[in-house]
Structure 1
C-alpha cells in the first residue's frame, strides 16, 4: 500500500481499515507460481465479453438516458413547474449515473473529436467552465441556444458541468418564473448536444467492422491491437486508470486528508449532490467490467485468490461511497464522514496495486509495464 501523507492520517486510516473493513491478504508462497502464459485463445473471449456485455450496453444506456434528458429539459423550458423541474433533475441524475458507469473506458471513440470533454469537462482547476458559462448566460446571445452550434464552442460549455450549472447553479430558481427563458433554452441546447455525442459514441461501438472488431479481433492487420497481449493490456489499463482517476481526480481534487484544507466546491457535480453517486457509478463500471469480462480466467488456478481480492476491494469501495453525505461541505468537515472518504482513498490506492502489480504480474505483465501504450 502506498505511504500516506501524514503519520496521524496514516494511523487513523490503517486502524479503520483493520477494524471495520479488513481485507484478505494474498497468500504468500515460498515457491510462487510463475505467471500464466497469455494466449490469444484465452484472451479473445475476455475481450468479446468486455465489448458485448459491458462496453456496448454501457454506451447504449448512456445514449438512451441522454436522449431522455434532452426531452426532459426541453419540456421543463416549455412548461416550467415543480413537476417538470423534478423530471429534468431526475433525468440529469440518471445521465450522470449512466455516464459514470461507462466513463471509465477512456479509450476508443470517446477520445476522438474531444467527445469525452464534450460530455464532461473535468477537472476544471481554474474554473474555466464556470466562467465561460456565466459569461455566456450574461450575454444571452440567441446563437448560443442552437445545439448545432455548440460543438464549435469551448468544450467547457457543452457538457454535464455546464448543464448542472444551468439547472442547479446560482440563478437557477429563475427557470421556474417563465417559459422558454434564455438560460433554459441554452440548457436544452447543451442537453441536446450531450445526447448527440452519446448517440454518436454508441453508434461507433455498434458498427460490426468498427472499433468493436478492433477490440475483439487483434492481429497483425489490426490498426489498434497487433495481438492479444496488447488488447488485454489495454483492458487492464482501463481498470487501473479508472481506479487511479477515482482516487486522484474524483476525491483528491477536493479532499486530501485532514492536514490539507478541503475544497468542496472543486468536487465533480457538487451542486446537484451527485459527487458520490458518480464515484459509485465509476466503481460499478470497474467491478462490472472485471467480472463480466471474465478476466479471472486468465489467471493460473493457483492464483485465483488474486481475482477474489480485487473483487473484495471493489465491493468494499462500492458499499462505502453511497454512505457518505451528499452535502460535500458536511462530508469533508464531519469526522465520521471524513473517515469514510479516507477509507475510499486508501483502498482505491490498494485497488490500483492489486490490479497493476498483483493481477498484471500474475498474467505476465510486469509491475513496470505501461498500460497506456501497450509497450
Structure 2
C-alpha cells in the first residue's frame, strides 16, 4: 500500500505537470447528500458536542467541590479535566455550524500559543487577583487566552502553586479555575443549543434553503464535513507531529505540544485521529469509487488504523526518547500516513463524490 500511495503522488504530479487527462474510470453513483448530512450530524457531530457539554459540566462541578474543601475532590478534577480535553480533541476541527463563529474555538482552547500568551495573562490575573475574572460571565468577555482548557491547565498543573492551598492566593487560583471551567461548560452548552431548534444549525444543514447565506444546497454541508476532516488531519500534523519531528534529534529538547503540562499530549493525538476516522467512516466517502480507485479507500482505512496504533506511541515520552533515529522514523511514518489520507480525500475521494473542497480552515490546501 505504501508503494501504491507513492505511485499515486507520482501520477498526480505527472498529470498536473504535463496537463494530461488521467482517466478515472466509470463515474460513481451520486451520493445522497441530504441523507449523509443528517447521518453525520445525528450520529457523529451531536453525540460529540453532547459529550463535551457533559464532561465540561462534570469538571465544573468537581472544581466547585474542590474549592469548597471537599476531601478527595481534586482527584475527580484530574479525571474530569482529562475527559474534557479528550472530548475537545474530538470536535476541535469541526469548524462549521456554531464552531464557525469568530472566536468560539479559541475560547475553548487558545492554541497554538507560541509566545506563551496564556501563561503570561493567567499569571497577570493571579497577581492582580482580578475579582471580575471569578465571574464566569465576566471571564467570557476577557481575552480568549485566559479562558478554556489551556488556561485551566496552567492553574491545575502547577506543582509549585496548587489550587488546594489555604492561603488567599491559592483560594483565588481555585476560584479562577472554577470560573474557567464554568465558562467552558457554558460555551459547550451554548454550542450544543445552537445546533438545535427549527432555526438551528442542524436544520440549516440538513434542509438548506436558497435564501440561506451559508448553505443553499445539500452538497455544501457535506463539503464542509470533508473540509473539516482534512483540516483535522492537518492540525495533527502541523501542531503535534511536525514539532516532534523537529525536536527528536535534539536530546532533551521539549517540543511545544498541546496539553503537555497535564501529560495528555499522546492521548490527545489518539482522540483526534479516532474522531477523524469516525467522521470519514460516517460520511461513507470511500463507497462507490470506480474500480480502478478501489485501492484508495482500502489504503485510507489501513492508514487510519496505523495512525490510531502508532500515533500516540510515537508521542509518548518523547523528551525521554533514547533511540532518536527510531523515534524519528516512527514520527515520519505517522506524518506520511496523515499526509496520504489528506491528499487522497481532498484530491480524489471527495471530488469523486461530487464535493468541491476549496480552501480548508488552516491554509487553503
Q: TM-score under structure 1 normalisation? A: 0.83
Higher relative contact order, structure no. (Cα contacts within 8 Å, ≥ 6 residues apart): 1
Tell me which of 57, 69, 73 is aligned to 2:63.
Answer: 73
| Residues 168-177 or 287-296, more deviating | 168-177
Partner of 1:151: 140
Aligned-partner SS, 2:212? coil
Partner of 2:201: 211
Aligned-residue offset at 1:358: 2.5
| Residues 298-307 or 347-356, more deviating | 298-307
Aligned-partner SS, 1:102? coil
- TM alignment of 1:342-361, pairs within 5 A: 342-361=332-351
Tell me which of 124, 127, 149 is aligned to 2:113.
Answer: 124
Tell me which of 53, 71, 76 is aligned to 1:63.
Answer: 53
Q: Deviations over 1:295-324 (max 9, x none)?
A: 334634664442222221111101112324
Aligned-residue offset at 1:290: 1.2
Q: Deviations over 1:58-77 (max 9, x none)?
A: 10010000000101111111
Asked whether the equivalents of residues 23 and 312 of structure 1 are also in contact (C-alpha less than 8 Å), the reply is: no
Aligned-residue offset at 1:189: 0.5
Partner of 2:263: 273
Describe the shift of the 1:211–1:261 C-alpha distance in structure 2 as closer, same or farther (beyond 3 A): farther
Distance 1:119 1:232 in 2: 25
Aligned-partner SS, 1:271? coil
Instruction: Give the root-mean-square deviation of aligned CA atoms.
Output: 3.0
Partner of 1:47: 37
Q: Which runs of 5+ in 1 are unaligned?
A: 1-21
Distance 1:24 1:217 in 2: 42
Tell me which of 124, 129, 138 is aligned to 1:135.
Answer: 124
- TM alignment of 1:1-375, pairs within 5 A: 23=2, 25=4, 32-36=24-28, 38=30, 42-79=32-69, 81=71, 83-169=72-158, 171-173=160-162, 175-177=164-166, 181-256=171-246, 258=248, 264=254, 266-297=256-287, 299-300=289-290, 303-324=293-314, 326-331=316-321, 334-365=324-355, 369-371=358-360
Describe the shift of the 1:364–1:358 C-alpha distance in structure 2 as closer, same or farther (beyond 3 A): same
Q: TM-score under structure 2 normalisation? A: 0.85
Q: Which runs of 5+ in 2 are unaligned?
A: 12-21
Q: Deviations over 1:228-258 (max 9, x none)?
A: 3323221110111111111012332454365
Aligned-residue offset at 1:266: 1.5
Distance 1:231 1:174 in 2: 44
Aligned-partner SS, 1:295? coil
Distance 1:209 1:182 in 2: 41
Asked whether the equivalents of residues 58 and 101 of structure 1 are also in contact (C-alpha less than 8 Å), the reply is: yes
Aligned-partner SS, 2:229? helix
Q: Deviations over 1:74-117 (max 9, x none)?
A: 11111264x32211011000000111111120122123251211
Distance 2:327 2:4 in 1: 26
Paired residues in the alignment total 349
Describe the shift of the 1:54–1:155 C-alpha distance in structure 2 as closer, same or farther (beyond 3 A): same
Distance 2:23 2:252 in 1: 46
Asked whether the equivalents of residues 264 and 332 of structure 1 are also in contact (C-alpha less than 8 Å), the reply is: no
Distance 2:23 2:98 in 1: 44
| Residues 357-366 or 187-196, more deviating | 357-366
Q: Deviations over 1:121-165 (max 9, x none)?
A: 000011111110111112222222111211111000001001001
Asked whether the equivalents of residues 158 and 193 of structure 1 are also in contact (C-alpha less than 8 Å), the reply is: yes
Asked whether the equivalents of residues 108 and 211 of structure 1 are also in contact (C-alpha less than 8 Å), the reply is: yes
Aligned-residue offset at 1:54: 0.4
Q: Deviations over 1:140-198 (max 9, x none)?
A: 22222111211111000001001001000353435345697111110000000110001
